Amino acid sequence: MFLSLRHSFMFLVTLFLTSKASLQDAPVTKISVTNRNIQSFTNAGRGNIITGISQFKRYLSRFGYLKNNDAFSDKFDASFESALIKYQRNLGLQVTGKLDSNTVSQMITPRCGVPDTRKTRHHQNRIHNTTHFVYFPGKPRWSHDNDMPMTLTYGFSRDYMIHKLSLQEIRETFKRAFSRWSSVIPVSFVEAEDYGFADIKIGFYSGDHGDGEPFDGVLGVLAHSFSPEIGRLHLDAAETWAVDFKVTKSEVAVDLESVATHEIGHLLGLSHSSVKEAVMYPSLRPRDKRADLNIDDIKGVQSLYGSNPNFRSQWSLESDISANHGEKFGVDTFRLFIIGLIIVIALFYII
């Protein structure tokens, strides 16, 4: 049940209860819930007026599900129900059109700041072949005169850096994150000597930092990046970034490699996936790690850039094995047919 949710619930409630701001003033990237009002939210339906519904509307507006409205009411209206249904579908949740516990739990989980609905969806559902990856509108990708293989450079802002982790730890973490993507596509990533000339510029920023997407402090939005070929990757400097949970004991620690790998996916042209195991799923709980590319991530990025010629995965091997079995089955069937035909002819002449 919702009351037993770990990490994200406990710390978001603490953050909001210690604030004197009203719900109307709360950031649209964070949802405030307590043990006292959660039941009223989960029981709410169309036509109900419940104090606090407006914050859910502002949250859905922030991530692309409702048109922006500075005067969102606390009424559970038809447009709110429709937005909830879209949100539940996009996040791979059970579609109820209600503020059920799973939906509220998802909304209080820290996430990427890139909206979920600014995308071109690719959905394919066949036997043993289901994909849910999505692109940004127009399927933008890095071109560099369409040369493949391609090399992109990245650099770290010395002016916008954190100090709880060493620069070396950050560099090594991003190197691993970039290598996860380069292992599956013909694109390599090299750290630039000059940050100003790098294709991809990485920095840690606080609050309003001039790109129209201000950060909101601890948890809430963790990071955001931009579609190709803008090349900007911004992380919230207020987070407790971790590269090793054995060293970083904080209950609100966020895995840097998981977030870096996710944001690089955006830089390459992927939007959010509804597959919860995918790197491109929009949310990540504190102290969780999800940095390994899922089949959905791989197929999505390969649809934009093609496959790294040295890449072999379990699912591609299984596909080859299935094809080989099919070919073998066809050959064996033909052989049996010929043998059977010879036997029939022989029996005809004997009789």
**What per-residue confidence (pLDDT) applies to 326?**
47
Res 22 pLDDT > 70: no
pLDDT in tens, 161-194: 999 999 999 999 999 999 999 999 999 999 999 9
The pairing of strands 150-156 and 187-191 is parallel
Reported as a single tens digit per residue, the pLDDT across 229-244 is: 999 999 999 999 999 9
For the stretch 263-316, pLDDT in tens is 999 999 999 999 999 999 999 999 999 999 999 999 999 999 999 999 986 555
**pLDDT score, position 314:** 56
Q: Give the 3-state secondary structure of 240-280.
A: EEECCCCCCCCCCEEEHHHHHHHHHHHHHCECCCCCCCCCC
Whole-number Å distance between alpha carbons of 188 and 266: 16
Q: What is the pLDDT of residues 128-160, one digit of tens each?
A: 334 678 999 999 999 976 678 999 999 999 999
Confidence of residue 10 (pLDDT cuts 50, 70, 90): very low
pLDDT for position 327: 45
Would you state the pLDDT for residue 345?
64
Region 46-58: mean pLDDT is 95
Cα–Cα distance measured from residue 156 to residue 250, given in angstroms and rounded to the nearest whole number: 25
Q: What is the pLDDT of residue 335?
A: 65
Q: Report the distance separating Cα 68 and Cα 272, nearest Å.
A: 21
Cβ atoms of 41 and 57 within 8 Å: the answer is no
Instruction: State percent of the chain over pLDDT 70.
Output: 76
* Active-site residue, selected from the candidate residues 251, 263, 318, 327: 263
Question: What does R_g of the chain's alpha carbons equal in angstroms?
Answer: 25
Alpha helices in 63-151 (DSSP H): 78-90, 101-107
Asked about 239 being catalytic, the answer comes back as no
Distance CA 268, CA 136 (A): 10
CA–CA gap between residue 34 and residue 167 (Å, rounded): 39
What element of type H or E holds 60?
helix 53-62
Asked if 195 and 158 touch (Cβ cutoff 8 Å), the reply is yes
- Would you put residue 207 in left (φ > 0), alpha (ψ -120 to 50) or beta? left
Mean pLDDT of 88-107: 96
Report whether pLDDT(337) > 90.
Answer: no
CA–centroid distance for 188 within its chain: 22
Residue 175 amino acid letter: K
If you average pLDDT over residues 323-350, what whole number do you get? 57
pLDDT digits 0-9 by tens, 28-45 = 899 988 887 888 999 999
120: which strand partners? 135
Residue 1: burial class (beta carbons within 10 Å; 0-12, 13-18, 19+): exposed
Q: 241: which strand partners?
A: 254
Residues 275 and 281 sit within 8 Å (Cβ to Cβ): yes
